[in-house]
Amino acid sequence: MAGKVYLIGAGPGAADLITVRGMRLLQQADVVLFDALVQPEMLGYCTQAERVDVGKRCNLASTQQRFINKMLVDAANKHALVVRLKGGDPMLFGRAQEELNALDEAGIEYEIVPGVTAALAASAGAGVSLTSRGVARNVLFATARVGQGEDPTDWVRPVVAADTAVLYMGVKQAAEVAAALLAGGMPASTPLLIVENAGLPNAREWPLTLADLPVAANWQLAGPAILMIGEVYRAKLALDKPIAMGRQA
Ligand code: SAH
């Protein structure tokens, strides 16, 4: 009899931003496979479990992903309660579908426990609503990162059209992202907000305009960062925080 796998969203990092359900399952787990974005403090909930760092960053090669899929299936064949712990929400930019497909193929039972995704933690920290009457009626979660063989500019049109857009994994490619958005017709004066370590005590944010976005590519950010785009962030620009802050990381 194979065990059951729980795909659990760890939330953005802080140990008290996982759901109660997720925490309880961690406390009962036999084995926990966790990602690079999962903070060490969270693993304090599962000291009884075998904890396996699958050391995955978002730009993971597909062969490594296949290896993780296999590890999950193997773990479920050996243990009753297997946890796959992923940063944020497991169903957003976390390669969850590939893992679920592998579990389906192996006939292994699973359940998903949602988590607070980075965009929501960043909004809470920034104190700016993703939606706002008369300003923003829709929100897009997107990434500029595309897989092999995909059109590298596919993401641009919906981001330009969105009232508020949140770009995951886009800060390191800030220069390319800025060029693509300008080419796609987004005004250079569009307000942006970069948030690093959202949801953690060391969170930092930098308001800037699309025209200034390329400078962010040179920032040596220590933690994960997310790019928020839209009119709702215009008030932040007036706060006049120096863009150079990003270089102190
Ligand atoms: N499943 C995760 C996203 C994984 S993709 C979620 O729902 O949040 C990894 C990207 O998420 C990072 O490159 C970064 O853009 C963003 N991210 C994850 N955690 C973050 C955090 N604490 N602060 C800012 N961005 C974060």
Q: What is the pLDDT along the chain (249 residues), one digit of tens a residue?
A: 789 999 999 999 999 999 999 999 999 999 999 998 888 899 999 999 999 999 755 555 555 888 999 999 999 999 999 999 999 999 999 999 999 999 999 999 999 999 999 999 999 999 999 999 999 999 999 999 887 888 888 999 999 999 999 999 989 899 999 999 999 999 999 999 999 999 999 999 999 999 999 999 888 898 999 999 999 999 999 875 544 444 333
The runs of H, that is alpha helices, within the chain are 20-28, 62-78, 96-105, 118-126, 156-161, 174-183, 234-237
**pLDDT at residue 146, rounded to an integer:** 80
C-alpha 239 to ligand 1 mean position (Å): 25
Quote the pLDDT of residue 61.
Answer: 58
Q: Are 246 and 216 in contact (CB under 8 A)?
A: yes
pLDDT at 63: 59
| Predicted model pTM | 0.92
- The residues spanned by each domain of the chain are 4-113, 118-245
Spatial contact of 103 and 73, defined as CB atoms under 8 Å apart: yes
Would you call 212 exposed, middle or buried from its count of C-beta atoms within 10 A (0-12, 13-18, 19+)? middle
Ligand 1 cavity residues, CB under 6 Å:
12-13, 37, 58, 86-89, 92-94, 117-118, 121-122, 168-169, 195, 197-200, 224-226
How far apart are the C-alpha atoms of 117 and 120, rounded to whole Å?
6
CB-side exposure of 40: number of CA atoms within 13 Å?
A: 0
Measured CA to CA, the distance from residue 39 to residue 14 in angstroms comes to: 7
Residue 56 a catalytic site member: yes
Does this chain's domain 4-113 share its CATH topology with 118-245? no
Q: What is the pLDDT of residue 147?
A: 79
29 C-alpha to ligand 1 centroid (Å): 24
**247, 218 Cβ separation under 8 angstroms:** yes
Measure the CA–CA gap between 116 and 119, rounded to whole angstroms: 8
Ligand 1 centre to CA of 90 (Å) is 11
Q: 169 an active-site residue?
A: yes
Q: Mutate which of 57, 60, 93 to test ligand 1's pocket (most atoms within 8 Å of Cβ)?
A: 93
- Burial (CB < 10 A; 0-12, 13-18, 19+), residue 201, is exposed
CATH class label, 118-245? alpha beta
Name residue, tokens 């990602």: 35
- Please identify which of the residues 71, 169, 186, 228 carries the catalytic annotation: 169
* Selected catalytic residue, list 35, 71, 186, 228: 35
Q: Which residue in the list 56, 86, 89, 186 is annotated as catalytic?
A: 56
- The count of C-alpha atoms lying within 13 angstroms of the C-alpha of 73, restricted to the half-sphere facing its C-beta, is 16
Instruction: Determine the CATH number of domain 4-113.
Output: 3.40.1010.10
Task: For residues 146 and 173, give the distance between their C-alpha atoms in angstroms, rounded to a whole number.
Answer: 12
